Structure 1
Amino acid sequence: MANLHTPLFADPAFEAASNRLTIDLGALADNWRHMDRLSGKARAAAVMKANAYGIGIEPAARTLYAAGARDFFVASVEEGVALRPIVPDARIHILAGMWPGNEQLFFDNGLVPIINSEEQLAFFMSVLSQRGDHPCVLHVDTGMNRLGLTRDEALALAGDPARPASFSPVLVMSHLACADDQAHPLNRRQLESFRAVTAAFEGIESSLANSAGIHLGSDFHFDMTRPGIATYGGEAVNGLANPMKPVVTAEARILQIRRVRTGETASYGGSAQFARDSRVAIVAIGYADGYHRSVSGGGVTLRQATPSGAYGFLHGRQVPHLGRVTMDLSLFDITDFADNAVRPGDYIELFGNNVAVDDVARAGGTIGYEMLTSLGKRYERAYIEAE
């Protein structure tokens, strides 16, 4: 990524913003292509939930379509309606399925409902009896105990001689619960369960692997994979170095620099305590922007795993967070910089090329998914277009 302090962005609003996101669409495309290659003979879909993991559904969908994606997954029918004009000839799958009152949106926008229960199946079939055939996806739970028909329900459906001919799923899918732990025994149990279902629905395409599942190998790939977090630059597998390119760089402006004496405190609850004379950067970022209170440098009693809190990155070095993250502001320790090396108006990187989003997430006892999908509306966004 280009240096963010070069004249890359001509938008005055971006240059003046208190907090801002730089979104590298070239990295997004490269990440998706990497996961598509890892998928072997299977084709990779594009997962666009939660406003494309916080980066913006329009630029993300446009980029991934240009990279080769033709299958898209979103959480709700509303997301599907927003996505349809961006990828007019792609297949868009709706994870929440069809419900009474929203069925017209599926027909008007050519959206594919995912059938998650026998109740949804019954409603979908009643709609087809009035409107004619429409594609769907059958979701089978193979061990996560979340959405999906049970394996026994799916097998009974496959063998039911009274199953209407109009019920013609274009895909059978399931979802892995523990793929981020490659040694977990549930991975193999889910695979065997899913194989039994796909055999019963012979001739219909199938999909099991998410980002982490793709790394489990070709047995898990089937016809389609569904990489999500890896496409957006996040870690997919525990304990492995993340090979993906950062997509999002979050920065916030330093509003003020304070001098604090030895023995003084700062932030709510006196949660930052100073054993030396220090300089503190007051930064325009807080939990209202999705920079969670749990990443605080101190004063968050429930966090146990990483008591030191998060770091930012400023002028070539890491700087620790101090005290508690508040609604609009955070404090960072800049004592080790020379006087006048840091000035009000400078930007500090919260995560991006120099601070991994998953490292910040771990400091707050959460995951990169939550950091990205929590990005607030107060960020000014700039996009680096894919070549």
Structure 2
Amino acid sequence: MNDAPTRSLPDDAAAVSEAAAGAVLTIDLGAIRENYRRLKASLGGVRCAGVVKADGYGLGARQVALALAREGCDIFFVALLAEGIALRKAIGDGPEIYVLNGLPPGSEPEAVSSGLCAVVNSGTQLKAWRAAAHSVGRRLPAAIQVDSGMSRLGMAPAEVEAIAADAAAFDGIGIRYVMSHLACADEPRHPANEQQRLAFERLRAMLPEAPASLANSSGIFLGPSYHYDLARPGAALYGINPTPDKPNPMLPVVRLQAKVAQTRSVGKGAGIGYGHTYRADGPLGLATISFGYADGWLRRSASAAWFEGTRLPFLGRVSMDSIILDISALPPGRLREGDLVELLGPSQSVDDAAGHAGTIGYEILASLGSRFHRHYLRG
């Protein structure tokens, strides 16, 4: 992570002061910008969007989008209409903002007034967006999503065929992209990747000619045949490895540190934490940190923190607001109340933490709560 001085973006007062918070989350916007540059380089001349759904994967959609805009990114994807409305207010007019999950019935006027682009996933959504275009008397932008084999969102092949036979299906709609989503892109040798690409080719050929978009973060690394006209990276921007079978080509973006609330020494046999699931087998030095599952650190998540390169194992259960650490490896008195220990950072990456928890980096980032003091590094 970039070690430049910590500075907040203009007009971005932290919601929780550092003194009041139990933990500090540092987000390196300079690293996000560099990751975007690296992805762009991998794409050659293909356009590159920024996926900032789930509040920028938990790191702040406004801050991330503004940072990406400084790198020339002018296309953003969110999941929900509410996210799109908030992002439009945050970044202003100009950039295109697409709502991946489509528009809920009856919400089309809100999307129009916020200048959002619908991702149309069904014939019903297409009809509603067409009606919205007629009501405002102008063409409305949309991406048409087809289901190439993930069975999640998008028009099924039979629906694409039916719409293709309707000469008036796209009246009033400006098709910006035909798109789909890869299910197994993080497994380069998975046969579903090529199966989906071929299905995508067949489906888009039925629709009006338009630029195409298929590649997510991992899809970018499947090669040029998956790039088409627009890539839509999300996880890779935030430092999650898009090539799990290879070294991570992205820079780390986050550092998470929790404050020590109290230290103590206990003797052999002392019960530690809820349920006394751990008992000391000898004298131990303990530290309790102000951090727990209410902050998004699930009870199954990685079970150690670090201080000055020394691993400090968790003892007992993760509580809602606290975790007990074994600090016996440190010299007595070295760790004190108010000191910060590291949960994510140079000693443990987001992917490392996810591996310990049996999950993925996406879940680790998206689970992070709102009680942190947040530092934003420009880089």
4+ long deviations beyond 6 Å: 9-12
Code of the residue aligned with 1:116 in structure 2: it is N
8 Å CA contact 1:311, 1:360 repeated in 2: no
Name which of 94, 105, 119 aligns with 2:99: 94
SS of residue in 2 equivalent to 1:241: coil
Q: Are 1:21 and 2:14 matched, yes or no?
A: no
Higher RCO (C-alpha 8 Å, min separation 6): 2
Q: 1:262 to 1:9 in 2, by over 3 A?
A: farther
Report the CA distance between 1:235 and its aligned residue: 2.1
Alignment of 1:80-91 (within 5 A): 80-85=84-89, 86-91=91-96
Instruction: Provide the residue aligned with 1:251 in structure 2.
Output: 257
CA contact (8 A) 1:62 1:87 kept: no
Which residue number in structure 1 is paired with residue 113 of structure 2? 108
Q: Paired residue for 1:335, among 324, 328, 338?
A: 328
Q: Residue 48 in 1 paired to residue 52 in 2? A: yes
Question: What is the letter of the counterpart of residue 370 of structure 2?
Answer: K
Identity of aligned residues (%): 39
User: Which residue pairs with 1:369 in the alignment?
Assistant: 362
Q: Does 1:125 align with 2:130?
A: yes
Q: Give, in angstroms, the shift of residue 22 of structure 1.
A: 0.9
- Cα separation, 1, equivalents of 2:153 and 2:262: 49
Are 2:41 and 1:37 equivalent residues in the alignment? yes
Amino acid at match of 1:330: I
Alpha-carbon offset, residue 281 of structure 1 = 1.2
Query: Are the aligned partners of 1:251 and 1:347 in contact in 2 as well (CA < 8 Å)?
Result: yes
Is residue 2:79 matched to residue 1:75? yes
Amino acid at match of 1:384: L
* Alpha-carbon shift at residue 35 of structure 1 (Å): 1.2
CA offsets 1:26-72 (integer angstroms, 9 cap, x no match):
00111111112112231110001011111112211110000111110
- The total of aligned residue pairs comes to 371
Aligned match of 1:168: 174
Query: 2:155, 2:275 → 1: CA distance?
Result: 50
What residue is the counterpart of 1:290 in the other structure?
A: 296
Question: Residue in 2 aligned with 1:305?
Answer: none
Give the direction of change, closer, same or farther, for the CA distance of 1:72–1:266 in structure 2 (3 Å limit): same
Equivalence map 1:170-189=2 (5 Å): 170-189=176-195
* Equivalent position of 1:302 in the other structure: none
The answer for the alignment partner of 2:158 in structure 1 is: 152
> How far apart are the structure 2 equivalents of 1:2 and 1:177?
32
Is the alpha carbon distance of 1:197 and 1:382 closer, same or farther for their aligned partners in structure 2, counting shifts above 3 Å? Answer: same
After TM superposition, the score normalised by the length of structure 2 is 0.92
- Indicate the SS of the match to 1:135: strand
Aligned partner of residue 196 in structure 2, secondary structure: helix
Q: TM-score, normalised by structure 1?
A: 0.90
Code of the aligned partner of 1:191: R
The answer to which of 325-334 and 259-268 deviates more is 259-268
Distance 1:164-1:118 versus aligned 2 partners, 3 A rule: closer
Q: Which residue of 1 is the match for residue 11 of structure 2?
A: none
Structure 2 CA distance for aligned equivalents of residues 74 and 272 of structure 1: 43
What do you get for the CA RMSD once the two structures are aligned?
A: 2.0
- 8 A Cα contact 1:138 1:172, kept in partner: yes
Residue type matched to 1:146 in 2? R
Indicate if the aligned counterparts of 1:260 and 1:279 stay in contact, CA closer than 8 A: yes
Q: Distance in 2 between matches of 1:131 and 1:91?
A: 19
The 5 A counterparts of 1:222-237 are: 222-237=228-243
Contact 2:2 2:30 (8 Å CA) reproduced? no
**Correspondence for 1:272 among 265, 272, 278:** 278
Where 1:142 maps in the other structure, the secondary structure is coil
For residue 239 of structure 1, report the CA deviation from its aligned partner.
2.2
Gaps of at least 5 residues in structure 2 are 9-13
Per the alignment, in what secondary structure is the counterpart of residue 258 of structure 2?
strand
Matched, 1:194 2:200: yes
Q: Deviations over 1:175-221 (max 9, x none)?
A: 01111111111111000001112333353011011111111111111
